[in-house]
């Protein structure tokens, strides 16, 4: 057993040492908020010559005065700011489907503050050049890239949302919206990958982006200052105060192949037996619209300008007014329309000078029941 030498030269036997900690909050609690003041103080109980003495409390500068009312101070420090957060895809995992010409196509991410202090986050988005995201190789760029935070908590993008994350509490999450336009010139299966970056900024002023947060890694720890430690380890470099996530847009469109053919129906000499394309012969034009894309082609309109060497045959498919024939799905659905001047009967088909227009609100889908569409009309050779 150890012996203590007193200042008076007397020997005493240490009977016990009891450490009693007084905390304003648990010092080792995971997620303790930055700025919380944590205090603790040790109390030493002892005996001299078997006689219990007054306890002595600890002090940061040392204390030898016995008694609980000695005025000794507790050891105190402030919890520092551990900057940590994640940025990941939210909801649909994989490319967002867009149509050519579509404005305001939204892809959603989730930003979670896994640190111990409120933070602001600046947001930025760029087109990626090449490479693959979720197995989809980048081939095109999206237009008019924008990024917003879900300011009102509606889980839906609105133009009123802020372009940065404002005052996100510790352990809280918010949605981040990337909004783009799809150029009308894009084609089916094009892929435009994007990358969104969130950078940590100081919190403190509502609806205003705080100053860029800086790491205090090179500073000596102070017990009276809240210092910053970058602990993030996501897609960015470890401990850099920023996170990066990527996603993409895949164009889903109709892919139309247009084929036009002609065949001689009859001529004045051979009639219908091996007819030839001679003056006076009747020729049938067939325009085939085939859709090999992913979605329907709506409002399909065919316009054809006749040569001055040709004259349109009216009633070429039976009764008067049956001037053009429309076959959907290889004859599954057949209809006719009249090629009257200026579309006087309102069926979507008509002529204006030498131009034939066939526009009956046609949809060419992706299945055999409505694809391909074959539009036919007949002319005579002058």
Cα separation of 63 and 246, whole Å?
58
Q: For the chain, what's the residue count?
A: 382
Residue 179 is predicted with a pLDDT of 98
Task: Give the three-state DSSP class for 290.
Answer: strand
pLDDT of 3 > 70? The answer is: no
**Is residue 40 scored above 60 in pLDDT?**
yes
For residues 206 and 335, give the distance between their C-alpha atoms in angstroms, rounded to a whole number.
64
Question: Domains in the chain, please, with CATH?
Answer: 1-79 (no CATH), 82-251 (2.60.40.10), 256-381 (2.60.40)
From 236, 245, 146, 235, select the one nearest 195 (Cα to Cα).
245
Higher pLDDT, 158 or 329: 158
Is residue 7 over pLDDT 80? no
CA gap 103, 100 in Å, rounded = 9
Q: What value does the mean pLDDT take over residues 44-63?
A: 96
State what percent of residues in the chain have pLDDT above 90: 81
β-sheet bridge partners, residue 327: 334, 374
- Interatomic CA distance for residues 100 and 182, integer angstroms: 6
Of the candidates 360, 325, 320, 326, the residue with the CA atom closest to the CA atom of residue 340: 320
DSSP string computed for 254-320: --EEEEEEEEEEEBTTTBTSS----TT-EEEEEEEEEE-SSS-EEEEEEEEEPPTTEEEPTTTTSST
Q: Mean pLDDT throughout 63-91? A: 95
Backbone angles phi, psi at 54, to 5 degrees: -65, 140
pLDDT reported for residue 14: 32
User: What confidence score (pLDDT) does residue 324 get?
Assistant: 94
What's this model's pTM, rounded to 2 decimal places? 0.78
**pLDDT(258) > 90:** yes
Residue 126, both tokens: 């760029």
The span from the CA of 167 to the CA of 190, in Å, is 38
Q: Rounded mean pLDDT of 295-318? A: 94
Report DSSP state, residue 211.
Answer: P
Helix then strand then coil, in percent of the chain rounded to 5, is 0, 45, 55
Percent of the chain with pLDDT over 70: 91
pLDDT confidence of residue 18: 33
DSSP letter at 5?
E
Closest by CA to 157, choosing from 205, 78, 96, 72, is 96
pLDDT for res 325? 94
The whole-number average pLDDT for the span 263-267 is 97
**pLDDT band at residue 19 using 50, 70 and 90 as cut-offs:** very low
**Which residues have a Cβ under 8 Å from the Cβ of 274 and sit 6 or more positions away?**
none
Q: Tell me what pLDDT residue 2 has.
A: 31
40-49 mean pLDDT: 96
What is the pLDDT at residue 237?
A: 62
What angle is formed at CA 224 by the lines to CA 218 and CA 228, rounded to 5 degrees? 40
In this predicted structure, the answer to whether residue 96 has a pLDDT above a threshold of 70 is: yes
């Amino acid at each position: 057993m150890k012996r203590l030498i007193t200042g008076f030269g007397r020997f005493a036997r240490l009977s016990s040492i009891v450490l009693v900690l007084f905390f304003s909050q648990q010092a080792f609690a995971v997620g303790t908020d930055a700025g919380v003041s944590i205090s603790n103080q040790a109390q030493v109980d002892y005996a001299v010559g078997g006689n219990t003495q007054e306890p002595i409390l600890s002090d940061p500068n040392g204390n030898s005065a016995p008694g609980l009312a000695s005025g000794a101070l507790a050891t105190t420090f402030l919890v520092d700011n551990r900057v940590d957060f994640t940025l990941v895809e939210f909801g649909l995992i994989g490319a967002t489907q867009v149509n050519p010409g579509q404005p305001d196509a939204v892809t959603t991410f989730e930003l979670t503050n896994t640190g111990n202090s409120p933070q602001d986050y600046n947001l930025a988005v760029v087109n990626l050049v090449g490479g693959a995201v979720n197995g989809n190789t980048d081939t095109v760029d999206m237009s008019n890239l924008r990024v917003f935070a879900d300011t009102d908590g509606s889980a839906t993008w609105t133009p009123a949302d802020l372009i940065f994350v404002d005052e996100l509490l510790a352990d809280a999450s918010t949605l981040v919206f990337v909004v783009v336009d799809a150029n009308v010139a894009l084609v089916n299966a094009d892929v435009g990958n994007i990358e969104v970056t969130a950078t940590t900024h100081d919190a403190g002023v509502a609806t205003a982006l705080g100053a860029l947060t800086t790491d205090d890694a090179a500073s000596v720890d102070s017990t009276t200052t809240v210092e910053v430690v970058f602990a993030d380890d996501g897609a960015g470099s470890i401990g850099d105060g920023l996170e990066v996530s990527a996603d993409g847009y895949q164009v889903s469109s109709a892919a139309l192949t247009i084929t036009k053919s002609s065949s001689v129906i009859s001529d004045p000499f051979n009639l219908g037996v091996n007819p030839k394309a001679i003056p006076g012969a009747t020729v049938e034009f067939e325009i085939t619209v085939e859709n090999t894309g992913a979605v329907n082609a709506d409002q399909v309109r065919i316009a054809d300008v006749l040569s001055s060497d040709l004259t349109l045959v009216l009633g070429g498919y039976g009764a008067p007014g049956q001037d053009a024939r429309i076959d959907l799905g290889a004859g599954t659905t057949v209809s006719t329309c009249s090629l009257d001047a200026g579309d006087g009967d309102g069926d979507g088909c008509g002529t204006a000078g030498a131009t034939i227009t066939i526009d009956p609100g046609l949809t060419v889908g992706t299945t055999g029941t409505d694809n391909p569409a074959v539009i036919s009309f007949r002319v005579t050779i002058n």
